[in-house]
Amino acid sequence: MKALSGLEILRKMRAGDLPPPAMGVLMSLTLERVAEGEAVFAAIASEQHTNPMGGVHGGFAATVLDSATGCAVHTTLPPGKSYATVDLSVQMIRPVPVGVPLEVIGKVLNVSKRVGFAEGWLQDAEGKRYAHATATCAIFES
């Protein structure tokens, strides 16, 4: 893996040549599209993602947006580099529905040698947004 760029790693995951991360499986995330500076996932919140009141827990949106924004940054990294989210700010726009296919989009705002900035949003097929996030990622040798 150290010989592959971030974009190459994600493309191999998308093609099924590398297994998906365990967190992606837990959160029902599927990598749909990946390009330099962008990662797009499909996600569906289920009953396992609900809180005691029966609504989708805010952690669902935060987690899938962390994945999309982090992967967007990852697409820009050369072999031997990795990242970790150091700040994630999530704004919940409206309640996330259970059982509705959603798109989780992450896009890079800027990447330097040591830090990457990205934004992301969670939306349905009609483009109705449920949450928005900004993320800061530290970049380091892997």
pLDDT at 1: 80
pLDDT at 119: 98
Residues 6+ apart with CB under 8 A from 67: 23, 24, 27, 29, 39, 41, 104, 106
Written as tens digits, the pLDDT of the chain (142 aa) is 889 999 999 999 999 999 999 999 999 999 999 999 999 999 999 999 999 999 999 999 999 999 999 999 999 999 999 999 999 999 999 999 999 999 999 999 999 999 999 999 999 999 999 999 999 999 999 9
Is the separation of the CB atoms in 9 and 75 below 8 Å?
no
Total-model pTM: 0.97
pLDDT at 2: 87
